Structure 1
């Protein structure tokens, strides 16, 4: 299980424990975190689970696969270094302490 901090665009923080094997998106959805819409349910087909990974975590996450890179083209105000689709981030003990900032809106 990993403790993940989701920070809304207005600065409101939500710290939740997310079970290993789920995705960061599922952790937000299951805990009612506003700001992650996840319209496609985690199929990497919509970009509405876009978030900005805290700079301390960028190099600690697996590299983006081509499909995620392509879908990020449709996300709101992406940051080439920090933007990730949270449906593509699988939770494990290694993600304990992860911090993600949510964009002002999802497209």
Structure 2
């Protein structure tokens, strides 16, 4: 289990426990966190689970595949070195304390 904090654009925080092996998107979806729409269900076919991940956590989230990079082109205000699709980040025990900031909106 990893405790992940999802921060809505307005600053509202949602601290939830997410089982290792799930994705960061599934953790948000399963805990009704607003701001992660996940229209494609985690298939990396949209950008509606876009989030910002800062600092050391960005590297701990794993390498980004080219398909994810391509889909980020469709995200709302993506930022190099911060933006990720949460459906592509598999939770590990080492992610305990991860903070995920959500954009103003998803497209």
* TM-score, normalization by structure 2: 0.97
Alignment RMSD (CA, Å): 0.7
* TM-score, normalization by structure 1: 0.97
1:18-29 to 2 correspondences below 5 Å = 18-29=18-29
- In 1, Cα distance between equivalents of 2:28 and 2:58: 19
Unmatched runs of 5 consecutive residues or more in structure 2: none
Unmatched runs of 5 consecutive residues or more in structure 1: none
Post-superposition Cα deviations, 1:30-85, rounded to whole Å, max 9, x if no partner, equal 00000000000000000100000022312222111101000000000000110000
1:3-42 to 2 correspondences below 5 Å = 3-42=3-42
- In 1, Cα distance between equivalents of 2:94 and 2:64: 17
- In 1, Cα distance between equivalents of 2:62 and 2:91: 11
The number of equivalent residue pairs is: 107
- In 1, Cα distance between equivalents of 2:42 and 2:13: 23
1:1-107 to 2 correspondences below 5 Å = 1-107=1-107
